[in-house]
Structure 1
Amino acid sequence: MRKRRFSVEQIVAPLEHYDRPANLFVAGFIGSPSMNFLKGRLQGGRFISENGTSLPVASAPAASDGKPVIYGVRPEHFILDEANGLPAEVAVVEPTGSETQVFAKFGGADVVGVFRERVDAQPGQQIRVTPDPRLVRLFDEQTGKRL
């Protein structure tokens, strides 16, 4: 009989997994829909995605300029912001009753946003969103650990 090996990724209270995941695995495993991940680097206290989109971060680790990172934002942490948001090209709008899920291209990546507001957009149209920088999580691109 083969022995199975299991790995414990993080031992904390349940909501800690959601709020402060230790690594990419935990961040992607907890929550539905799961956390969105964008690849890029930190520069001047901001995140710059692979396609050059500049996104806010609440605080960048010291001496992190140029560091390759993964920018993690949960679907419900996007904010509809027609005045100051960045464009997201809508692929699918899925009303679920009290929420609306929007599948879109944002910052060069496919993302899912979950909004309490009604979203009146059709595939191919753009909405303007911004991630809440206080709730964004940064992960080291090589190790997957939260910074």
Structure 2
Amino acid sequence: MARFNRKGVTQIHFLPTIADANLLPTRAEITGGNNLTQGIHTIDGWTLENQAIETPDMASTFVPKIDGDDSAADSSLGFYEDNTLDDIETDLAKGTTGYIAIFSKGDVPAGKGLDVYPVKVASNSKQYSADNEAAKILVQFVITDRPAFNQTVPAAV
């Protein structure tokens, strides 16, 4: 098993549109999106969680469970703020809808590991601090539908 460090490999893009109902973007949709990778300093969430259902019975003191509803974890991306451009503030303004595409093993055509999340921006807030650190922005997302996991990255054009 070849291990790797996600930093320098994983890419995160915001795609305004995806036509395919199975959430597999075309290369043109990826190119037309915004590669956010370089400006991200933190990532939180971006997982699917299951709300297990307890199913106790009188025959045992052990309480078994069955799988229940799926939901997405609270998800956010932390960015460094640019002192001349306002791309993050405008491209990911509150209320913006689209898709977060996470290329977990890189944007490698025909490679696996493309996860796509339908999203709406819930908040876009500057993070103020008097500490000795770079200026930051936190963008929180709500995941609006079931994500698609481990898709094949489309071929380059």
TM-score (norm 2): 0.29
TM-score (norm 1): 0.31
Return the index of the structure with the highest Cα Rg: 2
